[in-house]
Chain A
């Protein structure tokens, strides 16, 4: 039971971070390979707020998320301002996450440097993760359907056309990046207070690749796809032990295979849909009305 619990919690945390990447890479078409950096920033900020400054956990979690979001502007503004497409941004995210890890590794006051930030209370449990995941999905779903989300999708399809329709490229991209970094930051905070410690080695490039893999496999322009895959990508290595060693090799090969044969991903352009519930409810109502008429 404890084992299953662990998989569900880690899977839930990965779903939150994966949703962040889905908004940025899946919907806005910006390629991030440094989301582990935002997770680290959010995680450490939450830990400092909650464990050192004794702020209540939910506030600290939100604070960590927003801190990560604000830090994202450091790379977002210079990279998006140039209008030179995604490459600069992708490199900047990679450099940024490495720089964050370097700073964390060498700051020994308060956060413990390379030894890690130890002695955190274990607060994160399944109900908390479940609540945050549901809130995260609800917010992401609303964001994607809002005007902001539609602007993001327009940018990912055709930047020039989107700009001609009057979409402010810089502001829309920065919004998407901010939200995506907040998601990653919250996931980092939950992770720290589940593991009861944080070390910079949690947040390596391989974690960023995992998150990107979730979105590439799950599909662009979809939330349900990345949600499923980001959960599966945590659960699979746990269930299939032999898989752990080959994990990154298989991810890499699958990246190529998916891009060559099914670039939209497994569930690309498919959205989470509760329409069947609505239809079912209407049918039940209809049936009851009919039934009522007979009686």
Chain B
């Protein structure tokens, strides 16, 4: 029983990292109706910036994480300016946006690979050690990551539902054109959305790097986050969180009790099953209601 609870706790801790990414996807998807394929690159940028800040420049953890987030935000906003905005302004088909995002991603990831090298880097210990809660071991860093995710998502919820800027984003999510007629600045909305998604992906990158290792292709984990956001319903924020936690727990249970080799196969099978039986995800609405 202790083992089972232990597995669930580890699952929730990886699910917390997924949920940061999945919420970022859901946010961009709900406003712009396309999947931000370059998310991967922002996450890698965050992980690398955090790693070099701590390992090479010996900056204390909290400012280092802030630097990592800044790097991810700059990259995210920059990619929006260069790769998305021109397409958005001329109302290009979504396929083009996806290809453009894909291109930005390929370019950035492989640049990182070329300049930093593909080897795995171990993050220096920041908060090592575990806390025992009734026989269940919880890593301090996992606890911090889960707490950070919860706080970040709470702030995001507050921002979206209790501020004027958040109202503007929600209006754009329903209809960008009408929102802009009502005086909402589309470019400002784009800036906010991509800055938020930069913060989310950058922090996910740092936590993932600390949990496993930092390397240019670590962003492949965003595939899991996409699966999580589909499980929850693409474009739904609570759905993204629910999907991520479910996926994280399922994955650790599968690798604990069945086979760690086929863990990713299970995540993918879940995706196919969800698409078959819950086409809109668990909490997704039928395309009309968003966020």
**Chain A residues at the B interface, C-beta cutoff of 8 Å:** 25, 29, 31, 33, 74-75, 77-79, 81-88, 90-92, 94-96, 98-99, 102-103, 106, 156, 205, 209, 212, 216, 245-246, 248-249, 251-256, 259-260, 263
Contacts and interface: CB of A to CB of B under 8 A. Distances in A.
Contacts, number: 134
Q: Which 5 A-B pairs have the closest CB atoms?
A: A255-B103, A252-B107, A252-B106, A82-B279, A78-B275
B83 interface: yes
Interface string B85-107: 01100001111111110111111
Given A31-B99, A249-B114, A263 B94 contact: no
Contacts of A75: 272
9 contacts: A87-B234, A92-B271, A95-B271, A96-B268, A98-B264, A99-B265, A205-B220, A248-B109, A251-B106
Contacts of A83: 279
A137 to B, nearest CB: 24
A256 B104 contact: yes
Contacts of A85: 33, 94
B82 interface: yes
Interface residues of B, number: 48
Contacts of B264: 98-99, 102
A259 B83 contact: yes
Contacts of A205: 220
A205 B226 CA distance: 16
Given A31-B98, A87-B29, A87-B34, A106 B105 contact: no
A248 B98 CA distance: 17
Contacts of A84: 234, 279-280, 287
| Most chain B beta carbons < 10 A, residue from A29, A96, A256 | A256
A78 B29 CA distance: 20
B251 to A, nearest CB: 14
Main secondary structure of the interface of A (DSSP, over half): helix
Given A88-B234, A252-B108, A253-B103, A103 B265 contact: yes
Interface of B: 29, 33-35, 82-83, 86-87, 92-100, 102-111, 114, 220, 223, 226-227, 230, 234, 261-262, 264-265, 267-269, 271-272, 275-276, 279-280, 287
Contact of A106 (B33, B261, B269): B261
Given A90-B98, A95-B268, A256-B82, A81 B107 contact: no
A25 B96 CA distance: 11
B276 A78 contact: yes
Contact of B223 (A74, A95, A249, A260): A95
B35 A253 contact: no
A245 B264 CA distance: 29
A85 B261 CA distance: 32
A245 B117 CA distance: 12
A33 B102 contact: yes
A216 B96 CA distance: 9
Given A78-B272, A84-B279, 10 more contacts: A87-B34, A91-B230, A95-B227, A102-B264, A205-B220, A246-B114, A252-B107, A254-B103, A256-B103, A259-B96
A260 B87 contact: yes
